[in-house]
Amino acid sequence: MNTLRSALDQSVKEVLSNLPISKDSEFDTHDFITAFLNFNESVYADLFVRYKDADGAFRAFHSAIAHCMNALEKRGLIAKVCVDGKKKRVRSRNIKGNLTYNQVWVKL
């Protein structure tokens, strides 16, 4: 995960600036993953290959990215959106086109 974290650290400003932001300034985890993929496809592919043998390779890789997003939150770059004390989650399409629930975030 350290290599993934390094790659995200090196490109976090560009990824955050290329996020599709809703009218409420919110984005979800899938938006972040897509922005990372679009910003540097070759780095994404190189890192993804490391998960190719995992059961559910995309899910495993994207889960690792989500864990790195928690580190970005600790650094004060993004924050989880909460509603009534609960983390806000939305359904959106993952890279395979399936609707899944994931965290909603805002840039700080």
> What CATH number does residue 58 fall under?
1.10.10
How many structural domains does the chain have? 1
pLDDT tier, 23 (very low <50, low <70, confident <90, very high otherwise) = confident
pLDDT of residue 15: 94
Pick the closest to residue 4 from 54, 53, 48, 59 (CA basis): 48
Query: Quick one: pLDDT at residue 2?
Result: 65
Single pTM value for the model: 0.91
The mean per-residue pLDDT over the stretch 76-89 comes to 96
Domain with 62 in it: 2-107
Give just the sign of the alpha carbon dihedral 58, 63, 68, 73: positive
What value does the mean pLDDT take over residues 39-64? 95
Q: Mean pLDDT, the chain, as a whole number?
A: 93
